[in-house]
Structure 1
């Protein structure tokens, strides 16, 4: 669930939910290595990960983007992820879309929005994430000392090794030598059912959307993924009228499965 915004001014101090107080988030800044700039109205690109991701997952991609696009790239750790503070509330994986629609955001701050394999539709979170979280809590309680032990405990809830290794990137070693997840899993578990919500109403054929973002917006869909589908694409069109959908022959993690193609799609969007 990757999302990006590119803007004419750097984003600072943004929070997207009245229920969530602002927190200072951990981030990394990747400086361009070429004087050429991809687009005159893009001063930076901000990347936000999805559930159980972190800024470290995007280090290689962000470095390549800064080099090839000629613009600064910022990768964030959202609350309860990576090195950012923990909180009993969180907004979920639709943060960037919410930011673009935020009425308190100055119009000049964001010049475009990209959402990778997630739509702004309201819907239940995939049950697999609840299953993952419960098992991750069990791994914490087991006080394992090796990644192999943790991986073995995940195997009966997730067969795909790539997905398991993604989840295990969140393991850190404690002072006593045991491994634990850096995410506050017991805070997060009761919030997961609400993560499928969205702060604005999409409207319908008779009623306009509560908010619209009229600048260019790109939605990248993994063809083998169900996160964007024929039922939930309509809210994206209503919230983001200057909307383009690009499909990739991938699953949910488009950028990980075909990074070169993904980077080219983003470049084409920024150039226009």
Structure 2
């Protein structure tokens, strides 16, 4: 039995559960004092060659991430042999974004599914440093804690890139990899998006005093108006503002020292090169099965990227879902599951 521990954020309002699904989910953020047999909590070994000028993350320690596990009771005389699935959200997201899909995949496949908050997101620790390599370190520590020798991994954009690093540096950890609207290559669009998001963070950070002086809908309305010109797309702005914390019962913050946001603005602003921190791999490839799934209107991955991606992932498959963009898992929910689940099941 696992020990269930949650970071002290009781004012976070969780999404309602999906009817028809049983979950034995345990939400946990394990304490740094835990020690694991044969595991160094601050060591992340790269087994593959990575081309890099310097490694500023070498001395930074992995952190203990908040996660939630969904499990089904094993059938009698049929032990579970399927690899667990770990799901990592996108930039500005959290594990709650994937709650419903995690439950559905657990229900359909009966495999264990674990959703994770990245550092500086959700209920995970707030750290000054943030890079793809560090976030991969964090995931490795989580796998060690859960005693998972091999997993399937699904991640969206930022989460997909973290999964790619694990697959390319430690292929023994990854059974199958699903990359949702993600590519290993930087683009002007992704760089400009990171710059825009940081601008929104700075604007709202400067507005903190005014935001704390109001509550409930008035607070979210003030924040929304403040970044309308920076994030003109209503859906992007709504996703950003979903990180605004409030007590669902009172609409107020518990105390003045409590963070206003699930995301760590200071870390976002202090790591301007985070989005371009994906390492350059030389003479390295992952031999396992990989699914790249995206909408045909995606701005982050294009069909012309397929050949370059296969240099790193020679067994990659590509699924282009018509008439949708970045939010493929929600805009085309059924088609998304009909594509991902058979891939995970080896069909």
For the aligned pair, the TM-score class normalised by the smaller chain equals 0.7 to 0.9
Q: 1:6 maps to which residue?
A: none
Q: 2:228 maps to which residue?
A: 155
Q: 1:119 maps to which residue?
A: 183
| Structure 2 residues without counterparts, runs of 5 or longer | 1-38, 47-54, 133-157, 247-252
Q: Distance in 2 between matches of 1:180 and 1:236?
A: 39
Q: 1:185 maps to which residue?
A: 265
Q: 2:336 maps to which residue?
A: 262
The question of 1:102 aligning with 2:169 is answered yes
Cα distance change on mapping 1:178 and 1:217 into 2, 3 Å: closer
Q: Distance in 2 between matches of 1:88 and 1:31?
A: 33
| Mapping 1:72-221, distance limit 5 Å | 72-92=112-132, 93=158, 94-103=161-170, 107=172, 109-124=173-188, 125-143=190-208, 144=211, 145=214, 146-173=219-246, 174=253, 175-176=255-256, 180-201=260-281, 209-221=282-294
| CA deviation string 1:170-203 (max 9, x = no partner) | 11144239972232212212424342342232xx
Question: Which of 42, 45, 49 is 2:85 aligned to?
Answer: 45
Checking the alignment, whether the CA contact within 8 Å between 2:87 and 2:113 is kept in structure 1 is yes
Structure 1 runs of 4+ off > 6 angstroms?
A: none
Give, in angstroms, the shift of residue 42 of structure 1: 2.8
The question of 1:60 aligning with 2:96 is answered no
Cα distance change on mapping 1:141 and 1:176 into 2, 3 Å: same
Cα distance change on mapping 1:196 and 1:57 into 2, 3 Å: same
The 3-state SS of whatever aligns with 1:112 is: strand
Cα distance change on mapping 1:246 and 1:33 into 2, 3 Å: farther
Give, in angstroms, the shift of residue 34 of structure 1: 7.2
Q: Distance in 2 between matches of 1:224 and 1:148?
A: 30
Checking the alignment, whether the CA contact within 8 Å between 1:219 and 1:243 is kept in structure 2 is yes
Cα distance change on mapping 1:45 and 1:123 into 2, 3 Å: same
| Structure 1 residues without counterparts, runs of 5 or longer | 1-11, 202-208
Q: Distance in 2 between matches of 1:34 and 1:61?
A: 20
Which is worse superposed, 84-93 or 109-118?
84-93
TM-score (norm 2): 0.65
Question: Which of 109, 112, 123 is 1:69 aligned to?
Answer: 109
Q: 1:225 maps to which residue?
A: 298
Please tell me the root mean square deviation across aligned C-alpha atoms, in Å. Answer: 2.6
Give, in angstroms, the shift of residue 31 of structure 1: 1.2
